[in-house]
Structure 1
């Protein structure tokens, strides 16, 4: 590690007060890699999880460690560090948000019934273990709330809203005359972002972009772009792991590569369907938050049109366009 350059990077991106703790953390991390016979060029993303699990820290402390590791991955242009961090960040807030929303909306007694015998896990929980939580929680939600209330509860979303991250798309929307123009320019930005990752050799989600992946999206222009249909925007989501989808040899492997939900994904290669499709309303809630930020209005209604848990080959959502947007960005 070039300590001087890294210290400057931390000062510019996290602040001067983090320089000492960040450099000490990366020194510790590199020493750990040496102890297992690895180095920065030879590590893989699983080594990130192995490293943090042996630290014995609380979730709040682990978030600090992962923030430093992620910034170091950006600084060092090390894709495996970035993927390891992404696998932890992805959905790490869901169970905590679920726990707090149940208390806020239904009270402590129902919350405790839903979480009876379930402790909030560490954020670096093994991906293969995450579905075990929803296998227990979703049936309890349905038992206590019923189908409709469970759908409505989940459709609000369990993710954080990522307001700051979504502001560039809000700015783009304001710069567009029509909704169709926004969808097209947003998609162009997505493809250009993929090309940038390809050229820099950095991961996009958990896939390293190459020409094969770009060709895949060129041949499937309906993925991610969205189209307007009966006063709705229909969004068909592309794979979470695009390279895994392209290389998959079974339908189960393809479905796992498609699914974006860390609390469902690894269960999709099991023989039995272990999680009720009602949980896919949480993904509708993820879309709902995005479009509420883009349109600067709420509530936005989003419905699940197709999902992997329902047995479909892709996940698809219908975003109902508010009347005011239909007038201001004519269709």
Structure 2
């Protein structure tokens, strides 16, 4: 998850998609892409089960190669930027060790949710019940990236954790997991949005890691509720120079095992 304190200072919407598509492929491409389309509106897409976004993404996938589409959506990242988590870079450099930084961040975030539970306070409207807290503690990579060799593993918070845990079937569990106002309602339709849209969420999750490591990184979507998984999980590759400079020798033994399995 990463930075749960981030302030969203940009109005996220289809304009964010337009900015990144034009930046990568030019405005003529955007005009061709959107010719004759009803552009998705975040406030009203739920009413048509995200049918406009379904058409938009289908056309984008048809007009651009998969690598380019992933790159664009990764940069959309819900309108946030690593500069909004600048505090993490300072703290990481002060600690000077990746594993120690991640452990401290995990402990801080865990204590925060224990306190929310104890004081009966919510997290962005979500009640942190005993069951929710137990779920979080069983999945620590919801709170901070977990390193396995040269990979960082992350998991997104379900949008409504209490409903997610109480869901009667997998479809409703996926529905309550999804955060995206451009995709969520499509899970309950006959035309779910393409899972490639989840590269926007990958960018959102990677924002924190790119902030404290101070560079753009490579990652991939491992699991996605739009792909009929029950969780949204991501993998981020740690650059070799970071492995060498910021991981003590005690943590290097897993690198060989990880690469052998790739």
User: TM-score surpassing 0.5?
Assistant: yes
Report SS of the residue matched to 1:105: helix
Q: Distance in 2 between matches of 1:165 and 1:200?
A: 28
The 1:104–1:140 alpha-carbon spacing in structure 2 relative to 1, beyond 3 Å, is: same
Q: Deviations over 1:97-145 (max 9, x none)?
A: 1112222332222212222332463x64464557233211111111111
CA contact (8 A) 1:206 1:240 kept: no
Instruction: Pick the structure with greater CA Rg.
Output: 1
Q: How many matched pairs?
A: 241
Q: Structure 1-normalised TM-score? A: 0.64
Question: Corresponding residue for 1:213?
Answer: 132
Report SS of the residue matched to 2:234: strand
Q: Deviations over 1:146-181 (max 9, x none)?
A: 323212222233422344542333333233343222
Unaligned runs of 5+ in 1: 1-85
Among 20, 29, 38, the residue aligned to 1:118: 38
Are residue 255 (structure 1) and residue 170 (structure 2) matched? no
Are residue 318 (structure 1) and residue 238 (structure 2) matched? no
- Give, in angstroms, the shift of residue 316 of structure 1: 1.4
Report SS of the residue matched to 1:281: helix
CA contact (8 A) 2:158 2:176 kept: yes
188-197 vs 278-287, which moves further: 188-197
The CA RMSD over aligned residues, in Å, is 2.7
Higher relative contact order (CA 8 A, sep 6+): 2
Q: Distance in 2 between matches of 1:273 and 1:127?
A: 13
Q: Distance in 2 between matches of 1:269 and 1:188?
A: 37
CA contact (8 A) 2:192 2:226 kept: no
Q: Structure 2-normalised TM-score? A: 0.80
Where does 1:78-93 land on structure 2 (aligned, <5 Å)? 92-93=11-12
The 1:92–1:250 alpha-carbon spacing in structure 2 relative to 1, beyond 3 Å, is: farther
Where does 1:235-250 land on structure 2 (aligned, <5 Å)? 235-250=154-169
Question: Corresponding residue for 1:152?
Answer: 71
